[in-house]
Chains A and B, each alone.
Chain A
Amino acid sequence: MPDPLSVLTSMSITLDQITKRYQNTPVVNDVSLEVGDGEFFVLLGASGSGKSTLLRAIAGLTGVDHGRISLHGRDVTQVSPRKREVGFVFQNYALFKHMSVADNIEFALRVRGVKSAERRARRQELLKLVALEGMDDRLPTQLSGGQQQRVAVARALAHKPQVLLMDEPFGALDAKIREELRRTIREVQRELKISTILVTHDQEEAFALADRIGVMNLGRLLEVGRPEELYARPATRFVATFLGAANLLLARQTAQGIRVGATPVTTSLDKLDQRAELRREHEVVAMLRPEEIALAEHRDSLNSIYLGAGKVETIGFTGAFERLRVRMLEADKATLSADADEDNLAILDVTRTQHEQRLLPLTVGQSVAVGVRRIHVLPTPLSSYSVYATTAVAVETLKQHPLLVDLATRMKTRIITHVEPHLGQVVPTKSQAPLAGVAVIAAGSNAVTQLEWLLQRGTCEVLILPEQYVPITRVLIHWTGEEVRRATLSVAASVLRHVPAEATYLNILPETESEASKPAGMRELLDARSEAQAVHGLEMRTELHYGDTVPLLQRELSQQNSHMLILGVIDHADVKQRFDALLQQSANCPVLLVFRADDSSSVGKRV
């Protein structure tokens, strides 16, 4: 496939759709990344997120199953680690214990046949750089942990590598030494202007060091950005909660602005997403940082947007800040917090400075007015899940579905249950409020009628779950019209952030015109891929097929039970006429249907 990225040469490190699987599960899932010359890039993620595997892949210590790695414009995907000219620093230092500090540092030069005098000069230079002058003859075991890691850094830099890779270099050190070494590494990196990738699970460390941060979860690179940008305006729930504390609230976005429960909250404080797609009234996830929440005795004394009344639950002292938990007192059904108690009352994390604390001392149990200085709406299309079935038992069974539970837990959202005895039978008579979130129904012969019922009531996303469930390894993405492309991609991106599966977009063209339409088909694939990448942060493969849509999708789905289909449709009639068979027969695979009525099409294209 031709690659538009190959023209870029000012990038130090270019990763193009790197995938690494262990026993069929992708541990690094379609990661593309560019690190600029002299940039300090931090890969942040929990353990098991695939960040270390990715780093090892860049160094060549782990092979990749798919994708390309370039260092300074040179494709090194097939190059052995010893020829990649990288410096690697390990968490446990990995110093050669039987060699002195000098021998350790000179190792890379010695294997390159550098003369003794030159080696010594370089060693002195490096030891000075890491502030370990005069330690030449020590053995690693005679040094402290911090000193050993300094030696390891010096050793990794000896052969003047093009890039420096560090795998949790501070992991084994205590807090004080960690900070000291962190400073040293930052200084060394600035001085040498060497492109660096550091892997860590510590967000504080990432903030302190990074020019840019990339957050990884479940093998995917979720978001990349400058620290302050990512902190203030994350695009995903995971990044919002991983980079510091965040209160996630379900809110409704309307043409007028954002409403949290019954309270309209203007979003003039933050740039409101003006995309037409979001102008239709729907449920959104709002992020409130604990430090952006204001507390006052009365609503009138708040000089920020009023959110509601609350009660102080707990107070904790952490030195510079006071940490409170405040329970919101309004149990509005629309305001379901991701973190709420049994009565659906949202609990907010609040931090206050010493100054705020002195102005308004609070005690546990006290009633307060809660305001918010800044709200950020996450551009994620999946807010919550609503399970629909005809009986209470069926609802409960469906609610326990492993895929649904996984998705809801990882999205930190809740599952609301609805028992609708007439689901799929009676056409809803009076116009009711549009349903919120993703509707969930069971697969089976009734699925299609139930689906129609839900679509008529204004549901836009319906998840159809099979009884038998195999963990998903591959998600197929397809849409029937350009109008729903954006919405489908956005939903797919959201789902794929929360399941460790590989994504493939299937473009299906009629068989008859296969040769003539091939260039256009390929272009569509590339367009879709770059839109997914640029707008939704989703990396996906693309496949071009010829034939009839429904049988083709059916064939793809029947290959393995571990496939899932995300299907974008624009026409009610389509569901009944074309996809009826697909939805009934591929009952073993979960299907997520994304529906957008035709009318949004005109604006959708303009964006």
Chain B
Amino acid sequence: MAESRQHTVLPGFGLTVGYTTFFLSAIVLIPLAAMVLKASSLSFSQFIAVLLDPRVIASYKLTFGTSLLAALINVVFGFLIAWSLVRYDFPGRKVLDALIDMPFALPTAVSGIALTAVFAQDGWLGQQLARMGIQVVYTWLGITIALTLIGMPFVVRSVQPALAEVQRDLEDAAETLGANRFTVFWRIIFPTVLPALLTGFTMAFARGIGEYGSVIFIAGNLPMKTEITPLLIVIKLEQYDYVGAAALGCIMLGMSFVMLLSINLLQAWGRRRLFVGKR
């Protein structure tokens, strides 16, 4: 772009890149670096000790496990919601469409309180579930539900435009060629929206890992059982164990980064396959 002297809307390649770098540094990189620096004041064995604390390991399992589960649930049901919003016209479609964004706008603590009220033992849904022997609050199930709520709009909003772009003609073509509905879905529609679905999954997953506000109410925060990593960090901070908190943060940082990077690479590969030669 720099050497091809083309007219662009934003002036100055140098200026733009400088600006980008500065803000990325000030807001993202420098604080992260500070955290890593803080954590590095621990000796290696101390660092390992913090990481391998059984309570910490349990929280990793819980955080990544529930986030993954919630993201997977969202992929399925978010896709269905997006599908019905794009493909069908029904009364109240606009209202439903607007409601999708509610979890974005609501303070997460409010979502958490609302969910707890509904799923508590004497709550509305909790009562019914308790009768069937299912306890939601203070279990991993409650956490998953909270994370599903939080992550859902990410999936819907990324799949929606992709789905709207799937030409009806493609389905018609497949049908005249003899494909049944199942084949049309798996061979035609699914591959076409897969990149968008992956994006949605990644974002919902990433959001789930970092989520704090909505989870702590419904989780009950029982050590070893329903304690998520972000909560452990907060606990450590409250105990003035800044270094320990930073160490936990570093681990989360590393794991999240590896996961997001691999999903992004996967997506790039998919996109290259779909849109090769277009540019």
Q: Chain A interface (Cβ within 8 Å of chain B)?
A: 56, 59-61, 80-84, 86-88, 90, 92, 94-98, 107-108, 111-112, 139, 141-142, 152, 155-156, 158-159
**By CB atoms of chain A within 10 A, which of B176, B188, B278 has the most?**
B176
**By CB atoms of chain B within 10 A, which of A88, A96, A98, A159 has the most?**
A98
Contact of A61 among B176, B180, B191 (CB under 8 A): B176
Task: Report whether A94 and B274 are in contact in the complex, using a CB–CB cutoff of 8 Å.
Answer: no
Q: Is B134 an interface residue (CB 8 A)?
A: no
Interface string of B258-279 (1 = CB under 8 A from A): 0000000000000001111110
User: How far, in Å, is A165 (CB) from chain B's closest CB?
Assistant: 8
Across the interface, which residues of A come within 8 angstroms of B139, CB to CB?
Answer: none
Task: Report whether A111 and B278 are in contact in the complex, using a CB–CB cutoff of 8 Å.
Answer: no
Task: Report whether A92 and B169 are in contact in the complex, using a CB–CB cutoff of 8 Å.
Answer: yes
Q: Is B58 an interface residue (CB 8 A)?
A: no
Across the interface, which residues of B come within 8 angstroms of A111, CB to CB?
Answer: 177-180, 183
Q: With CB as the reference atom, state the residue of chain B lying closest to A91.
A: B169
Task: Report whether A82 and B276 are in contact in the complex, using a CB–CB cutoff of 8 Å.
Answer: no
Contact of A81 with B176 at beta-carbon distance under 8 Å, contacts A96-B188, A97-B192 already known: yes
Complex formed: what's the CA distance from A156 to B187 in Å? 17
Task: Report whether A82 and B170 are in contact in the complex, using a CB–CB cutoff of 8 Å.
Answer: no
Task: Report whether B274 and A97 are in contact in the complex, using a CB–CB cutoff of 8 Å.
Answer: yes
Complex formed: what's the CA distance from A88 to B276 in Å? 26
Task: Report whether B175 and A141 are in contact in the complex, using a CB–CB cutoff of 8 Å.
Answer: no
Task: Report whether B274 and A108 are in contact in the complex, using a CB–CB cutoff of 8 Å.
Answer: no
Across the interface, which residues of A come within 8 angstroms of B169, CB to CB?
Answer: 90, 92, 94
Across the interface, which residues of A come within 8 angstroms of B173, CB to CB?
Answer: 88, 90, 94-96, 152, 155
Task: Report whether A86 and B176 are in contact in the complex, using a CB–CB cutoff of 8 Å.
Answer: yes
Across the interface, which residues of B come within 8 angstroms of A59, CB to CB?
Answer: 172, 176
Complex formed: what's the CA distance from A139 to B272 in Å? 11
Secondary structure at the B interface, as helix, strand, loop or mixed, is helix
Q: Is B4 an interface residue (CB 8 A)?
A: no
Contact of A87 with B176 at beta-carbon distance under 8 Å, contacts A92-B167, A92-B169 already known: yes
Complex formed: what's the CA distance from A294 to B248 in Å? 96
Across the interface, which residues of A come within 8 angstroms of B187, CB to CB?
Answer: 96, 107
Complex formed: what's the CA distance from A96 to B180 in Å? 16
Complex formed: what's the CA distance from A114 to B278 in Å? 32
Q: Is B174 an interface residue (CB 8 A)?
A: yes
Contact of B277 among A60, A112, A142 (CB under 8 A): A142
Task: Report whether A159 and B178 are in contact in the complex, using a CB–CB cutoff of 8 Å.
Answer: yes
Q: With CB as the reference atom, state the residue of chain B lying closest to A81.
A: B175
Task: Report whether B172 and A82 are in contact in the complex, using a CB–CB cutoff of 8 Å.
Answer: no
Contact of A139 among B175, B178, B276 (CB under 8 A): B276
Complex formed: what's the CA distance from A156 to B179 in Å? 13
User: How far, in Å, is A164 (CB) from chain B's closest CB?
Assistant: 11
Contact of A84 with B176 at beta-carbon distance under 8 Å, contacts A90-B169, A96-B188 already known: yes
User: How far, in Å, is B166 (CB) from chain A's closest CB?
Assistant: 10
**By CB atoms of chain B within 10 A, which of A56, A97, A112 has the most?**
A97
Across the interface, which residues of A come within 8 angstroms of B192, CB to CB?
Answer: 97-98
Which 4 residue pairs are nearest across A and B when measured between Cβ atoms? A94-B169, A108-B177, A94-B173, A88-B176
Q: By the criterion of a CB under 8 Å from any partner CB, how many residues of chain B are at the interface?
A: 23
Task: Report whether A82 and B273 are in contact in the complex, using a CB–CB cutoff of 8 Å.
Answer: no
Contact of A88 with B172 at beta-carbon distance under 8 Å, contacts A82-B180, A111-B178, A158-B177 already known: yes
Task: Report whether A107 and B179 are in contact in the complex, using a CB–CB cutoff of 8 Å.
Answer: yes
Contact of A82 among B167, B176, B275 (CB under 8 A): B176
Complex formed: what's the CA distance from A139 to B278 in Å? 11
Chosen A-B contacts, 8 in total, with CB atoms closer than 8 Å, are A81-B175, A82-B177, A83-B178, A88-B176, A94-B172, A96-B188, A107-B179, A107-B187
User: How far, in Å, is A136 (CB) from chain B's closest CB?
Assistant: 16
Task: Report whether B273 and A98 are in contact in the complex, using a CB–CB cutoff of 8 Å.
Answer: yes
User: How far, in Å, is A237 (CB) from chain B's closest CB?
Assistant: 35
Interface string of B145-181 (1 = CB under 8 A from A): 0000000000000000000000101101111111110
User: How far, in Å, is A483 (CB) from chain B's closest CB?
Assistant: 50
Across the interface, which residues of B come within 8 angstroms of A96, CB to CB?
Answer: 170, 173-174, 187-188
User: How far, in Å, is B221 (CB) from chain A's closest CB?
Assistant: 46
Across the interface, which residues of A come within 8 angstroms of B167, CB to CB?
Answer: 92, 94
Task: Report whether A155 and B274 are in contact in the complex, using a CB–CB cutoff of 8 Å.
Answer: no
User: How far, in Å, is B185 (CB) from chain A's closest CB?
Assistant: 13
Known pairs A61-B175, A86-B176 / 6 extra A-B pairs, C-beta < 8 Å = A82-B178, A90-B169, A107-B177, A107-B187, A141-B276, A141-B277
Task: Report whether B276 and A156 are in contact in the complex, using a CB–CB cutoff of 8 Å.
Answer: no
Complex formed: what's the CA distance from A83 to B172 in Å? 13
Across the interface, which residues of A come within 8 angstroms of B176, CB to CB?
Answer: 59-61, 81-82, 84, 86-88, 156
Across the interface, which residues of B come within 8 angstroms of A60, CB to CB?
Answer: 176
Q: With CB as the reference atom, state the residue of chain B lying closest to A90.
A: B169
Complex formed: what's the CA distance from A302 to B170 in Å? 60
Task: Report whether B273 and A81 are in contact in the complex, using a CB–CB cutoff of 8 Å.
Answer: no
Across the interface, which residues of B come within 8 angstroms of A61, CB to CB?
Answer: 172, 175-176
Across the interface, which residues of B come within 8 angstroms of A94, CB to CB?
Answer: 167, 169-170, 172-173
User: How far, in Å, is A76 (CB) from chain B's closest CB?
Assistant: 12
Complex formed: what's the CA distance from A108 to B277 in Å? 26
Across the interface, which residues of A come within 8 angstroms of B274, CB to CB?
Answer: 97-98
Q: With CB as the reference atom, state the residue of chain A lying closest to B191.
A: A98
User: How far, in Å, is B279 (CB) from chain A's closest CB?
Assistant: 10
User: How far, in Å, is B234 (CB) from chain A's closest CB?
Assistant: 45
Across the interface, which residues of B come within 8 angstroms of A139, CB to CB?
Answer: 273, 276-277
Across the interface, which residues of B come within 8 angstroms of A56, CB to CB?
Answer: 172
Q: With CB as the reference atom, state the residue of chain B lying closest to A86.
A: B176
Across the interface, which residues of B come within 8 angstroms of A86, CB to CB?
Answer: 176
User: How far, in Å, is B251 (CB) from chain A's closest CB?
Assistant: 38
User: How far, in Å, is A320 (CB) from chain B's closest CB?
Assistant: 38
Contact of A108 with B178 at beta-carbon distance under 8 Å, contacts A90-B173, A92-B169, A97-B192 already known: yes
Question: Which B residues between 230 and 273 are near A, CB-CB below 8 angstroms?
Answer: 273
Q: With CB as the reference atom, state the residue of chain B lying closest to A142.
A: B277
Complex formed: what's the CA distance from A84 to B172 in Å? 13
